[in-house]
Amino acid sequence: MGVLDSDLLARIGTSAAPQTQLVTRRDIRKYSVATGQRQQRYLDGDEAPPMFHVALFWPVLPLTELSANGVAIDPLFPDVPGKRPMAGGIKIDFRLPLRPGDELTATRTLTNIYEKSGSTGALVFIEVTMQVHNARGELVLTEKTTRIMR
Amino acid sequence: MSAVPDLSRLEPGQELPVRHFKAEPVQLFLYNAALWNADRIHFDHPYTTQTESYPALVMAGPLLGDWLAQAANDWVGDAGQLCSFEYSNRRACYVGDALRSVGKVRSVDVATGEVVLELAILNQKDEVTTPGTAVVRLRRA
């Protein structure tokens, strides 16, 4: 194994505290205007467009907990010594539509850390999976974020 | 928006409508406000260009992802639904860029109605900034 030590790998399976948020028509409308949605059901806030959950679950932290460049540090993504984040990808599986009045709970878990060799040295891939359930316990969506560190 | 896609007539290689996006600061501001994202590279021009050495304010990665999701979701319209979607931010986009979303059909499963779409955001230099894939399910007529 290269840069991945046992302390780092032991963090696989760590979850953040679940977060519950209420979907409101006003928040859907703001998101729909800001993203340039063209379907009336989204602009009217009757239903949320596909990526609305990104805004719904963005962290709301005290100003003192933001870094100097204004960024909310995500505690689930560990520092990897000598590595910097360079890119990332997101994959989302949609199960149920989001509507005003829905009370949704997101659970985020560090699901994998692995290494691949690249042309400029080892690349470290860190995966965080977020599952969103509604108040009836039904799975609404799953989102897997992969951060690549170089 | 385009005509409703017809499952019986779809073929791999068929292109989705192109949509053009002007990367401009008011929309970028509203997007980050809707998220509650205070990252300075999206609004603080001196910080972004001098401290971080970017050529201009940086467009938010998930906004580009949203535009790709719209390309698939608007194409489907009422004829079906978006089942899954993935993308990666391969190259930064900046305020002032002339961007466009493109897409084409990769595969069609007439039995299940499942259609796989290849998507991308391109910049004014025709560079792919944000490649993606979507799986949609169309209802059979």
pLDDT in tens, A96-135: 999 999 999 999 999 999 999 878 788 999 999 999 999 9
Q: Which of A21, A35, A41 to mutate to test the interface with B (most CBs of B within 10 A)?
A: A35
User: pTM for this structure?
Assistant: 0.94
Q: How many CB atoms sit inside 10 A of residue B78's CB?
A: 9
Within a domain: residue B38?
no
Count of the separate structural domains present in chain A: 1
Chain B residues in contact with A27 by the CB 8 A cut-off are 34
pLDDT at B68: 97
pLDDT at A82: 83
Query: What mean pLDDT is reported for chain A?
Result: 93
Angle between helical axes of B61-76 and B25-35 (0-180°, round to 10): 90
Q: How far apart are CA A133 and CA A51, in angstroms?
A: 15
Count of the separate structural domains present in chain B: 1
Q: What is the 3-state secondary structure (H, E, C) of A23-65?
A: CCHHHHHHHHHHHCCCCHHHHCCCCCCCCHHHHHCCCCCCHHH
Q: Is a pLDDT exceeding 70 seen at residue B50?
A: yes
Q: How far apart are CA A128 and CA A92, in angstroms?
A: 12
pLDDT one-digit tens code per residue, B16-43: 999 999 999 999 999 999 999 999 999 9
Which positions 1-60 of B are in contact with A (Cβ < 8 Å)? 1, 21, 27, 30-31, 33-41, 44, 47
Q: Is residue B105 within 8 Å of residue B117, measured between CB atoms?
A: yes
Within a domain: residue B29?
no
Chain B residues in contact with A71 by the CB 8 A cut-off are 38-39
Residue A90: give its domain's CATH number. Answer: 3.10.129.10
pLDDT one-digit tens code per residue, B57-105: 999 999 999 999 999 999 999 999 999 999 999 999 999 999 999 999 9
What are the backbone dihedrals phi and psi of residue B120, each rounded to the nearest 5 degrees, phi first?
Answer: -160, 145
* Residue showing tokens 């980050």: B32
Lowest mean pLDDT of A27-31, A82-86, B28-32, B81-85, name the range.
A82-86
Residue B19: give its domain's CATH number. Answer: 3.10.129.10
Dmax over CA atoms of chain A, in Å, equals 53
